[in-house]
Chains A and B, each alone.
Chain A
């Protein structure tokens, strides 16, 4: 089974900061990697799919990159709404695997 490892687990940042979250897979995903944002008590929201495609309605400050087994989510200028938990998702096969999550906190 594929293992998805996110880093860091927690990130403290300020409004306006550039933030990068990394997701490493135990085997190649061929670009089938997505990113989600989840606020407390809410359902997850799809931000990025197929490594770098921005989901409709998602602000352009969010971007994704990577290939093979290493992927990143970048928030170019952190906004108050962005303090949340972020998850990567492997969907290269029929089953799915989430990373353990990265909580972005206010510094």
Chain B
């Protein structure tokens, strides 16, 4: 069974840092791009970042560039999102998702999400 499980969410003060992790199983992790997507309370989906199969390319939405860093460890089947200089507007449920592998479809498997709250 293909599974993604996020962890690391919590309450943090503005300006603080948090590291999210996503553990995957049931598929060849090293064959897929991976993405992070977030959803603020009562709002729509926002793609945050993605990373190429070997980690050599990374892309970010403008609002997190310079603050967030996506990384992966193919030996451990894990994906991370390091979030620094957090802002109130970063409050959201963060999902990791399996992304492109050349077969034509984008994010097709998602985790259950982890909640990040940025508040003083």
* B87 → A minimal CB distance (Å): 20
At the interface, yes or no: B76 with Cβ under 8 Å from chain A? no
Number of B residues contacting the other chain (C-beta, 8 Å)? 23
The answer to whether residues A38 and B61 also contact, given A43-B111, A46-B107, A49-B106 and a CB cut-off of 8 A, is: no
* B58 → A minimal CB distance (Å): 9
Contact between A46 and B111, CB atoms less than 8 A apart: no
Contact between B106 and A89, CB atoms less than 8 A apart: yes
The answer to whether residues A96 and B104 also contact, given A43-B111, A43-B112, A44-B110 and a CB cut-off of 8 A, is: no
Closest to B96 in A: A43
Find chain A residues with CB under 8 A from B113 CB. 43
At the interface, yes or no: A87 with Cβ under 8 Å from chain B? yes
Contact between B105 and A98, CB atoms less than 8 A apart: no
At the interface, yes or no: B50 with Cβ under 8 Å from chain A? yes
Contact between B104 and A50, CB atoms less than 8 A apart: yes
Contact between A94 and B57, CB atoms less than 8 A apart: yes
Closest to B35 in A: A96
Contact between A98 and B47, CB atoms less than 8 A apart: yes
Number of A residues contacting the other chain (C-beta, 8 Å)? 25
Contact between B104 and A95, CB atoms less than 8 A apart: no
The answer to whether residues A94 and B50 also contact, given A44-B110, A49-B104 and a CB cut-off of 8 A, is: yes
Which A38-76 residues have a C-beta within 8 angstroms of B? 38, 43-46, 49-50, 53, 55
At the interface, yes or no: A100 with Cβ under 8 Å from chain B? yes
Contact between B47 and A97, CB atoms less than 8 A apart: yes
Closest to B49 in A: A95
At the interface, yes or no: B95 with Cβ under 8 Å from chain A? yes
Find chain B residues with CB under 8 A from A38 CB. 45
C-alpha gap A53/B106 in the complex (Å): 12
Q: Which 4 A-B pairs have the closest CB atoms?
A: A49-B105, A43-B110, A96-B47, A91-B106
